[in-house]
């Protein structure tokens, strides 16, 4: 397919997604099945166009002063890909399979309009109702922060230090352009272009042998800031598929006891295979059975309880560009309740002098600082470990990290704009000894 034909296909797909309210991933899959002539490169490029329009869904329409699929695509090409009118006109040439030429109104919008004066929710591409919530955390910077939260994310890997080291893994992934991430000592990053095909990391020998895992650098840092140590008893209370569990296991160097559980046994299912591939031998996965408490035998013995809390996931918008448009206020209310519950669940597990690490992949204050504040008010026996202490694990990078991230009296907030990671909040709370 020509680049112009890919644009036409993207417009057709965006129309389907909009008019038939089909999730983007489903629409892309069905389009691939119905257009077998399209090669994998074409499909990747078309998917890239569609996802990028969803990233710039509001701002592209504002720029073009029109909200058709075609207008949004043109607006996205300008805003996300910096394409000039001449390049665009060469593709929108009306030839067979190409979109029709740019109209006068479209050329004029491209020549004269900008996002200057656009409301923050439009410039930053997020639903209106979230504006007061983002204003609470970012103030006047919210459009810029949200724009970065909408931009394409790289593929981050964590090198599993139980089996490999970063130099070795970087050499073996040189063909994918893997480079060390800025902060995490175990992080590697692969930048993905707009038309990039999935680099098939799961088929790499290093992945199959457990030397690397896919994990955003923010998630790696959150695990690091827990300061899990060899020999400790560590409970991963919201282990899910085990992303944090694996990182904690590497920090513990195979020594001590790592207990992983989750209230939803289905979420836990992939953890067994992942632990085995990663060569983790000190983990005990507790799958809930009926109403019985899988941690009933643990009372005030844990050195560390990690709560990778259920949250709205606003910090991962750049990886799910259509999820934010589907987010509703009710979802936040439910998460706030879940978070308070899971924090309560941790209390009887922690030993005197032990700690709780509270983590979310959300940037909203309500889910972060306000949860911690309410928790310490309910439980004065817990006090916040000063964030500058938790970041000390970054050694020579701690100072630069402190300048980059947003520090509150409770914890750290990482954002795509500030730390180049997904949005993550981490607070560490210590129980009186």
Ligand X SMILES: C[S@@+](CC[C@H](N)C(=O)[O-])C[C@H]1O[C@@H](n2cnc3c(N)ncnc32)[C@H](O)[C@@H]1O
Interface contacts to ligand X, rule CB under 6 A: 237-244, 262-264, 267, 308, 310, 338, 341-342, 345
What is the distance between the alpha carbons of residues 61 and 46, in angstroms, rounded to a whole number?
19
Beta carbon nearer to ligand X, 6 or 244: 244
- CB nearer to ligand X: pick between 107 and 267: 267
> DSSP states of 240-269 as a string?
TTSHHHHHHHHHHTT-SEEEEE-S-HHHHT
Closest to ligand X by CB, 271 or 406: 271
Smallest distance, ligand X to C-beta of residue 406, A:
20
CB 30, min distance to ligand X, A: 29
Cβ-contact 140, 178 below 8 angstroms: no
Closest CA to 318 of 146, 127, 137, 115: 146
Q: Which is nearer to ligand X, 174 or 334 (CB)?
A: 334
Please state the closest distance from residue 245 (CB atom) to ligand X, in A.
Answer: 7
> Is the CB of residue 210 less than 8 Å from the CB of residue 160?
yes
Angstrom distance (rounded) from CA 144 to CA 151: 11
* Euclidean distance between the first and the last CA atom of the chain, given in angstroms as a whole number: 67
DSSP class of residue 197?
Answer: P
Nearer Cβ to ligand X (269/402): 269
Q: What's the rounded Cα separation, in Å, for the pair 421 and 433?
A: 34
Cα→Cα distances 151→3, 46, 125, 157, Å: 22, 17, 10, 19
CB 350 within 8 A of CB 322: no
Task: State the residue number with the nearest CB to ligand X.
Answer: 243
Question: For residue 213, which of 259, 262, 276, 144 has the smallest C-alpha distance?
Answer: 276
Q: Which is nearer to ligand X, 322 or 338 (CB)?
A: 338
Structure tokens belonging to residue 116: 């200057």
Structure tokens, 295? 């941690």
To ligand X, the closest distance from the beta carbon of 306 in angstroms equals 8
> What minimum distance in Å lies between the beta carbon of 349 and ligand X?
11
135 or 347: whose CB is closer to ligand X?
Answer: 347
Q: How far is CA 257 from the centre of its chain?
A: 28
Q: From edge to edge, which strands make up the β-sheet containing 179-180?
A: 179-180, 187-190, 155-159, 212-214
Nearer to ligand X, 13 or 246 (CB): 246
């Amino acid at each position: 397919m020509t680049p112009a034909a890919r644009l036409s296909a993207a417009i057709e797909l965006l129309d389907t997604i909009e008019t038939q309210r089909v999730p983007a991933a489903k629409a892309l899959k069905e389009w691939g099945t119905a257009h077998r002539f399209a090669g994998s490169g074409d499909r990747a490029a078309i998917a890239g166009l569609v996802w990028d329009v969803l990233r710039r869904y509001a701002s592209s329409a504002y720029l073009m002063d029109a909200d058709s699929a075609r207008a949004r695509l043109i607006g996205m090409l300008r805003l996300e890909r910096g394409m000039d009118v001449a390049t665009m006109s060469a593709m929108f040439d009306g030839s067979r399979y190409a979109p029709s030429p740019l109209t006068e109104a479209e050329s004029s919008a491209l020549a004269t309009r900008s996002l200057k004066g656009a409301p923050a929710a439009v410039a930053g591409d997020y639903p209106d109702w979230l504006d007061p919530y983002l204003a609470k955390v970012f103030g006047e910077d919210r459009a810029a922060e949200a724009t970065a939260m909408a931009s394409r994310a790289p593929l981050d890997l964590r090198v599993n230090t139980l089996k490999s080291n970063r130099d070795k893994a970087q050499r073996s992934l040189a063909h994918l352009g893997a480079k060390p991430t800025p902060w995490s000592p175990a992080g590697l990053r692969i930048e993905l272009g707009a038309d990039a095909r999935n680099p098939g990391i799961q088929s790499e020998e290093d992945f199959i042998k457990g030397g690397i895992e896919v994990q955003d650098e923010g998630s790696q840092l959150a695990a690091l800031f827990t300061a899990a140590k060899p020999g400790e008893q560590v409970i991963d209370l919201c282990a899910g598929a085990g992303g944090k569990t694996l990182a904690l296991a590497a920090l513990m160097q195979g020594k001590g006891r790592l207990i992983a559980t989750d209230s939803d046994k289905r979420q836990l299912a992939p953890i067994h295979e992942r632990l085995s591939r990663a060569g983790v031998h000190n983990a005990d996965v507790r799958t809930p059975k009926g109403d019985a408490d899988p941690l009933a035998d643990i009372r005030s013995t844990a050195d560390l309880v990690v709560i990778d809390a259920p949250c709205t996931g606003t910090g991962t918008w750049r990886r799910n560009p259509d999820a934010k448009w589907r987010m509703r206020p009710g979802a936040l209310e439910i998460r706030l309740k879940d978070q308070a519950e899971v924090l309560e669940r941790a209390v009887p597990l922690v030993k005197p002098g032990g700690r709780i690490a509270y983590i979310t992949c959300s940037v909203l204050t309500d889910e972060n600082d306000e949860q911690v504040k309410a928790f310490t008010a309910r439980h004065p026996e817990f006090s916040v470990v000063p964030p500058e202490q938790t970041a000390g694990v970054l050694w020579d990078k701690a100072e630069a990290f402190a300048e980059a991230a947003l520090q509150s009296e409770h914890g750290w907030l990482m954002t795509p704009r500030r730390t180049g990671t997904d949005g993550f909040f981490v607070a560490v709370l210590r129980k009186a000894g």
